[in-house]
Chain A
């Protein structure tokens, strides 16, 4: 894609600006679709229909929601710390958006093909923690502060399982660069890392599968916690803290928090998909694969996991904060150590 743009526009800064635009455009469009999907999925799980009036079966509702949020009054509490209050939502969004730079949407398109790839993504999404703490503190509200502190503790604890699953993948593929990791999964469904990767002989694949599947499930669970979704949504627990760190935000700033949450949901889904489920590789081997098919596959797989996250949100109750911590430190992390050890052993033998 870079070559194409250079051919059209010449060697120009505009080329690079346009090159970086697709993720942003994608996030905005995707947020509208996910808003609609979340409400409809929630409604059908709860045995009701939602949104039948705006457009056919409510497809125009997300636009209506955005319009409503844009025209709302922007209230800042008098005692709030103005600078931090205004900066916080944008920091949360920046943390997520920065991660999109290293996500390979297609064999030909990756924002920044650095060798640190997934490590960079995990590091950049930690900026979200600062944003959340800022919003809780700057709101000058005891409940927001409680929510923000819980959230910070949760996010930091669940980075550990996330990072450790990356170790499992790195052991199999030998590289942190997401394009390399995906290229190591070519050849169809059974060559995906969740089954052991393309370069492993059959006995290794069979031996490794239980451990890689466990590692994938742990990654998915930890990423639910990273995004503050039920069952880990204590920071925004409606029933206790009104809206947690979000309480004092209204209008556009609230919309930015929401957008950041959805973008984060997609980011963690797509990272899990790239690491374990083949990224833009087609499950049928060489059929239906290519640069444009790649975009389709990665977006489809990512959206499937976003759908799964939405489904889980409307089914399960939420964990209490100490149970959350317990799960991270005493359940997920030891399991992952076992997985790492086992995968390493199998690779060496």
Chain B
């Protein structure tokens, strides 16, 4: 299926949950509403013809203009096609619906995005920090992150 066909089918099914798309980029992407990623995820995984059963990567991004985003790279092993989804939220309202129930591979990726960028995934079974210690403050990969002076009595910058 080409990206245009994918986009059209999604648009007919989900209407305005599909916010925008850039289909002429080398890797075409579709932006979805951040409150409905799970619904769209189930559709993409289970619908015959789509069958996106493999989530290659889920990255968190800080766009440096008050917005945070989660980028989903999906792949279908049976149909051999790929698609990129984006879900963008703001720093204040930093909630995106989790797709951990759809693809188990997203479990740890979402925890990492929460840990490093600070996006809260609604519906994730076990959302806690994964790479940093549990009581670390701040989200390091944000562009406005300041390294703390002390952590538990130890000086951080050396």
Direct chain A–B contact by Cβ atoms under 8 Å: no
